[in-house]
Amino acid sequence: MAEQAQASYTEENIRSLDWKEHIRMRPGMYIGKLGDGQSADDGIYVLLKEIIDNCIDEHAMGHGKSVRITIRDGQVKVRDFGRGIPLGKVVDVVSKINTGGKYDSRAFKKSVGLNGVGAKAVNALSIEFVVESYREGEAKKAEFERGELVMDSKLTKTDERNGTLISFRPDKEVFKAYSYRMEHVERLLWNYAYLNTTLALYLNGEKFKSDAGLKDLLSNDLDTEPRYPIMHLVGEDIEVAIAHTDAYGEDYQSFVNGQYTPQGGTHQSAFREAYVRVIRDFFGKDYDASDIRSGISAAISVKVEEPVFESQTKTKLGSAEMGPGQPTLKSFIYDFLKRELDNFLHRNPDSAQALQSRILQSERERKDLAGIKKLARERAKKSSVHNKKLRDCRIHLSDKNDRNEETTLFITEGDSASGSITKARDVQTQAVFSLKGKPLNCFGLTKKVVYENEEFNLLQAALDIEEELDNLRYNNVVIATDADVDGMHIRLLLITFFLQFFPDLVKRGHLYVLQTPLFRVRNKKETRYCYSDGEKHEALDALGAKSEITRFKGLGEISPDEFRHFIGEDIRLDPVVIGKESRIKEMMSFFMGKNTPDRQSFIIENLRVEKDLVEQ
């Protein structure tokens, strides 16, 4: 066998791929996961971001005050009013790797895009890609299909203002059945607006503009009134907004050169550490770091030269310095907070007092929980060994920051459902946690219940989120319940649990609901699984009205062999998304609080609407 393997390895086995072949063969290297648009980090949003990043860099250099985005029927158009791509290099800039203006630090000192790869990746992964550049009354246009140049026009005269227009349509061979969810696009554009207060962005005509930067971001994101007015600190190459609420956990949003870094990185870690040091120094007390940061909601933006990210998608900063020959990020952020935060607290004693009150509240709660937590940990350790509520995956996440992107935890109800998923799952990356009965409605309760309630305690231990969310063992936490009334109720109770005690897990996009088929339609030649009545009717039209129809009432009715179809490559996940206009506390109070008459009226009104629709 060894001789055969050695003999088959010849010069013919060595291939050199051109730029577009490599991008299409290994898209994950360039845009992360592919996805269908359900999640905010799916590839189609990365494509959009890569194009807008170039517009932002132009604006940052002082060229162009608006960006116009149009998304219709899967086609994206992005028009900026910067300088426009130099007309003689329009084709090269979008189709030749290692070609671009951002290698010249004089032109783009602190840009978002550094490697000149983004636009090329969009080009290669699009069935249609059109670039037009307008400069000083002249225009240049080029068209591509999957990275292949199909039309290269000559220079023409134009009345268009200087700038660039790029149009693309993601390739459905790569992004299967994709669609843009506007809430994800809007969130992306708001982040650009918060970081660029002199820029206006338009999405299908709707304007996105911020005047107060990160202060606006925090103000719009807070679910409840903060304990004190938002602290907004601005310096050269750094901006910070800080508030505290009565919520559990810590919530951070960090940015580098206008780039949102959802996985944080060195700048976010430096901020968390520096914030604790400054607060301890100000109050002259050695408060526990967890008490100082409990309930914090903060946003931080820094600008650095030649930032190093941990991937092309730039979700996590790896740089330790502000730039070549410059201070470390840790010392730069600490010096800024030591000066500006300390001054702010001295000038605003009411805010300082409210902050200290929140720290002392957290300290009391932590000490009250100390004994309970110890017993809870012991129970969790025993249960995980003997009761086997958690059927873990084989990846033990020795490197949490990288490998947990592959992992999923399914939270199921009952033994039959968990048994089906356990037999069907990918044991390498998918784990299963089995619930026993309905969880407790924990709305309005304190975190004490997490440790006293066995189900919550074991679930928290399985996720490893007791201390902080950065320890999360599974990137995807999936609620997998039956599509009946009881299943829906359990789903709602679980979402309440996460929103009440671990809202950051939801805000960071880790929580999903598993879609499973409601019907199976099959004849002797073909089987189709349908997730709605509409899909069922389409299947009957295609396979014939005499086809056999099976209605799945529960997950336990689906055999493991069938389940493999639904939790593999074609898995359908609905992300639990908190919309910009939603307030978690108000929403949970209405659905889970003691306001029965209000809910009753809501149900009656909506039932009446549904009845009317049926009659029509």
Q: How far apart are the first and last CA of the chain?
A: 70
Query: pLDDT at position 442, please?
Result: 84
Q: What CA dihedral angle connects 500, 502, 508 and 513, to 10 degrees?
A: -70
- CATH topology assigned to domain 369-517+564-615: Rossmann fold (3.40.50)
pLDDT tens digits, one per residue of 578-602: 765 556 666 777 777 777 777 777 7
Q: What are the helix and strand counts (H, E) for the chain?
A: 22, 23
Rounded CA separation 273/578 (Å): 28
**Residue 403 pLDDT > 80:** no
- CATH topology assigned to domain 20-208: Heat Shock Protein 90 (3.30.565)
71-85, 385-399, 411-425, 535-549 — which one is most confidently predicted on average? 71-85
**Residue 159 pLDDT > 90:** yes
Query: pLDDT at position 582, please?
Result: 56
Q: Which H or E run includes 219?
A: helix 214-221
Query: pLDDT at position 402, please?
Result: 46
DSSP 7-48: HT-SGGG-----HHHHHHH-THHHHS----SSSTTSHHHHHH
**Residue 401 pLDDT > 60:** no
326: three-class secondary structure by DSSP:
coil
pLDDT tens digits, one per residue of 96-137: 765 554 444 444 455 555 445 688 889 989 999 999 999 999
**Exposure string for 25-60, b = 16+ CB within 10 A, e = fewer:** eebeebbbebbbbbbbbbbbbbbbbbbbbbbbbbbb
Q: Model confidence at 3, in pLDDT bands (50, 70, 90)?
A: very low
Q: Model confidence at 2, in pLDDT bands (50, 70, 90)?
A: very low
Query: pLDDT at position 13, please?
Result: 58
Q: What is the 3-state secondary structure (H, E, C) of 499-558?
A: HHHCHHHHHCCCEEEECCCCEEEECCCCEEEECCHHHHHHHHHHHCCCCEEEECCCHHHC
- CATH topology assigned to domain 214-364: Ribosomal Protein S5; domain 2 (3.30.230)
Query: pLDDT at position 311, please?
Result: 64
Q: Model confidence at 564, in pLDDT bands (50, 70, 90)?
A: confident
Query: pLDDT at position 398, please?
Result: 47
pLDDT tens digits, one per residue of 243-261: 999 888 888 999 988 888 8
Higher pLDDT, 307 or 510: 510
pLDDT above 90: percentage of residues in the chain: 36
pLDDT above 70: percentage of residues in the chain: 87
Query: pLDDT at position 447, please?
Result: 84
pLDDT tens digits, one per residue of 191-213: 999 999 999 999 999 999 999 99
Rounded CA separation 480/558 (Å): 13
Residues with Cβ within 8 Å of 235's Cβ and at least 6 positions away in sequence, in order, are 336, 340
Query: pLDDT at position 193, please?
Result: 95
Note whether 277 and 334 are within 8 A (CB): yes
Q: Model confidence at 370, in pLDDT bands (50, 70, 90)?
A: confident
Note whether 301 and 317 are within 8 A (CB): no
Higher pLDDT, 534 or 312: 534
Rounded CA separation 553/482 (Å): 7
Query: pLDDT at position 29, please?
Result: 78
Query: pLDDT at position 14, please?
Result: 54
Kindly calculate the radius of gyration of the chain based on its CA atoms and give it in whole angstroms. Answer: 27
Note whether 511 and 576 are within 8 A (CB): yes
Least reliable range by pLDDT among 168-172, 352-356, 610-614: 610-614
Query: pLDDT at position 114, please?
Result: 46
Query: pLDDT at position 87, please?
Result: 92
The 8-class DSSP code of residue 436 comes to -
Q: Which H or E run includes 360?
A: helix 349-386
Phi, psi of 451 (to 5 degrees): -90, -30
Residue ranges per structural domain of the chain:
20-208, 214-364, 369-517+564-615, 519-551
Q: Greatest CA span in the chain, whole angstroms?
A: 79
pLDDT tens digits, one per residue of 438-497: 888 888 888 888 888 888 888 988 898 887 777 888 989 999 988 777 888 899 899 999
